[in-house]
Amino acid sequence: MEAMSSAAPSNLPPVLRPENPPHRDLAELARRFGARTRGDVGGTTLTGITLATADLRAGEAFVAIRGVNRHGAEFAQTAAERGAVAVITDEAGAEIAEQTGLPLVVVDDPRALLGDLSAWVYGTGPDDELPRLLATTGTNGKTSVSHLLEGILGQLGVVTGLSSTAERHIAGDVIVSRLTTPEASEFHALLALMRERGVEAVAVEVSAQALTRHRVDGLVFDVAGFTNLTHDHLDDYADMREYFEAKLPLFRPDRARRGVVCLDSAAGGEIAARAEIPVVTVITPAIAHDPAARADWTVEIVDERQEGTEFTLSDGRGRSLTTVVPVIGRHMAANAGLAIVMLLEAGYTWEHLHSTLDGSRIEASLPGRTQLVSGPEGPAVYVDFGHSPDAFEKTLAAVRRVTPGTVVMVFGADGDRDATKRHDMGRTAVEGSDILVITDHHPRHENPDAIREVLVEGARLARPDAEILEFTPPERAILEAVKLVGEGDAILWAGPGHQDYRDIRGVRTPYSARELSRRALRAAGWSVPEPQWPVPYPADRTPSSDPERPVDFPA
């Protein structure tokens, strides 16, 4: 990880703080954590803690950690100029930061200690009064389960908070997310703000990286849920075994009190067997790798239609409810079943859940998750965040089951991320669609032509005779895809989902696949509903043939 500097992009959402910041004695912090000090720490009070000078507020301590290429202490002078009252760092960082004249707190590994430091500063540790904390991990489905948890809690009358890849929610307020799981200092500040605003339960998406990089340190979740494990993130982990082992610690007593594990992927059984906390299990036989595996709860698919998926959740001992998750896909029913059982394990009563959901519908918004952006006439266009072979396979199958006509798949791949999955992305995309359109996604610092070449190669190896088209930029790709379809057909645009930007050479370019899809449909003569989300895409974008600049659409 690179050291946190002051050069944060201006279009990143702000880091939130409690409205009534804490006042913590720096000398007490040093004593509590057995830290060494340099300079006079007596009489210094801090009101927060942060890793990034760009987010630092006057009165806070700056935590300087060693990055891949630079040490965060190199930015200590900037922190001092912005009002930092102290620097917390290691010995190497202390040598650099000493010139600021700020008091220094020196520890062996400030990154590993950040969660506990933040919990103490903000009063958000395991022994403090907090909302119920519900964590979800897994390769796919984390965001969906988190939003489903929030939606169901709202139906139960609970004041909610949420931290997901897509958004942060605080008692109804919505903030765009930076990371899947925030840095520990940001997370604890967010929890302190949620507590101030009367939040009673928080749904949190926890990535493997969050666990290995200490982002959820200092917390004990009331319930941890596991969705699945499939090929992804091998840019961060050496192999699938290391990736699995990175997720397992969430199911230990220092991380969570209870667990709910989905057995639909092979990894679920091992998670359940090796968990060191009480665990209950849930399975969806229609998609499970081993439909005969025994579980405490079962999700049975009742009906699949464009407006949602109906399912029955039962425990085989008399408890059963039937409800509808408001998106297509058997995997989405599995996510909803997991969410319901997690709430039951968190202490919400079966009677309350049953009376709220049975014979009804889950009222949840899942931004960019198989999101239907088209109107009642013409082709169906779905925008999805899925970016792994497993996600492609499940979502394409879901689209196929509700589409009488042609299924067109549009997708690209991330640059500077796990390149080992690109062949399989091309394979699953072409195997599940009638026509495949390959385009760009976030090229970051890679050559987008080279990324597309590997995707096309993977698709061609799987189906040499398939209709495989390649268009860049993605603004053109969706225009061309819409020309290929009509009434009864469908387009699945996978990858961008809820995101409102593309990362091109490190610059976040405003971009919305949902808005681009609507414009493409209108250009083809189809009526579309007005968007129910902010539209970040510039209205005055001018036409361009430059593949790194979006083209405009006819009015």
CA gap 284, 289 in Å, rounded: 10
Asked if omega into 543 is within 30° of 0 (cis), the reply is: no
Distance CA 334, CA 260 (A): 12
Provide the pairing of β-strand 297-305 with 279-283.
parallel
**What CATH code would you report for 24-122?**
3.40.1390.10
Query: What is the model's pLDDT at position 266?
Result: 92
Distance CA 114, CA 109 (A): 9
Q: Is 59 left (phi over 0), alpha (psi -120 to 50) or beta?
A: left
Nearest CA-CA partner of 273 in 243, 254, 293: 293
**How far lies 188's CA from each of 124, 285, 373, in Å?**
6, 38, 35
Domain ranges of the chain: 24-122, 132-361, 371-523
Q: Are 177 and 287 in contact (CB under 8 A)?
A: no
**φ, ψ of residue 222 in degrees (nearest 5):** -70, -40
Q: What is the dihedral of CA 185, 115, 206, 136, to 10 degrees?
A: -120
- The identity of residue 104, as a single letter, is L
Could you give the residue ranges of the DSSP H alpha helices within 346-469? 350-357, 389-401, 422-432, 448-462
Asked if 66 and 89 touch (Cβ cutoff 8 Å), the reply is no
Name the CATH superfamily housing domain 371-523: Mur ligase, C-terminal domain (3.90.190.20)
- Give dist(CA 304, CA 291) in Å, integer: 19
Would you call 212 exposed, middle or buried from its count of C-beta atoms within 10 A (0-12, 13-18, 19+)?
middle
Which one-letter amino acid corresponds to residue 293?
A
DSSP state of 530: P
List all residues 6 or more positions away from 85 whose beta carbon is below 8 Å from its beta carbon: 26, 44, 45, 46, 59, 60, 61, 102, 103
Q: What's phi and psi for 324, nearest 5 deg? A: -125, 130
Mark out the alpha helices in 227-309 (DSSP H runs): 240-247, 266-274
Q: How far is CA 408 from the centre of its chain?
A: 26
Asked whether 510 and 538 are in contact (CB, 8 A), the reply is yes
Given a contact cutoff of 8 angstroms between Cβ atoms, the answer to whether 47 and 57 are in contact is yes
Position 7 scores a pLDDT of: 41
Amino acid residing at 285: P
Is there a contact between 295 and 281 (Cβ–Cβ < 8 Å)? Answer: yes
Is the torsion defined by CA of 364, 370, 375, 377 positive or negative? negative
Q: What are the C-alpha distances in Å from 320 to residues 145, 292, 294, 340, 395?
A: 20, 19, 17, 12, 26
DSSP 286-351: TT-SSTT---SEEEEEEEEETTEEEEEEE-SSS-EEEEEESS--HHHHHHHHHHHHHHHHTT--HH
CA dist 438 and 411 (Å) reads 5
CB 537 within 8 A of CB 516: yes
DSSP letter string over 164-201?
-SSEEEETTEEEE-SSSS--HHHHHHHHHHHHHTT--E
Residue 142 CB contacts under 8 Å (≥ 6 apart), including other chains: 136, 164, 165, 180, 205, 206, 207, 227
CB atoms within 10 A of CB 541: 15
pLDDT at 532: 58
> Can you tell me the distance from the alpha carbon of 170 to that of 151, in angstroms, rounded to the nearest whole number?
13
20 CB neighbour count, 10 Å cutoff: 10
Q: Is residue 496 a contact partner of residue 387, using CB atoms and an 8 Å limit?
A: no
Question: Tokens standing for 327?
Answer: 């998106």
Give me the numbers of helices (H) and strands (E) for the chain, helices first please: 16, 27
Q: Interhelix angle for 350-357 vs 142-155, to 10°?
A: 90
What pLDDT shows up at residue 550?
32
Q: What's the Cα-to-Cα distance from 187 to each of 60, 80, 218, 389, 404, rounded to whole Å?
A: 15, 23, 10, 30, 45
CA 188 from chain centre, in angstroms, equals 18
Using CA atoms, how far apart are residues 254 and 219, in angstroms rounded to an integer?
Answer: 8
* pLDDT score, position 552: 30
Report the C-alpha gap between 252 and 219 in whole angstroms: 12
Give CATH for domain 132-361: 3.40.1190.10
pLDDT tens per residue, the chain (555 residues)?
Answer: 334 443 444 445 567 899 999 999 999 999 999 999 999 999 999 999 999 998 899 999 999 999 888 999 999 999 999 999 999 999 999 999 999 999 999 999 999 999 999 999 999 999 999 999 999 999 888 999 999 999 999 999 999 999 987 688 999 888 775 555 688 999 999 999 999 999 999 999 999 889 998 999 999 999 999 999 886 656 667 788 898 899 999 999 999 999 999 999 999 999 999 999 999 999 999 999 999 999 999 999 999 998 899 999 999 999 999 999 999 999 999 999 999 999 999 999 999 999 999 999 999 988 888 889 999 999 999 999 888 898 899 899 999 999 999 999 999 999 988 899 999 999 999 999 999 999 999 999 999 999 999 999 999 999 999 999 999 999 999 999 999 999 999 999 998 887 888 989 988 888 899 999 999 999 999 999 877 544 444 433 333 333 333 333 222
Model's pTM, two decimal places?
A: 0.81
Helix pair 142-155, 330-345: axis angle to 10 deg = 60
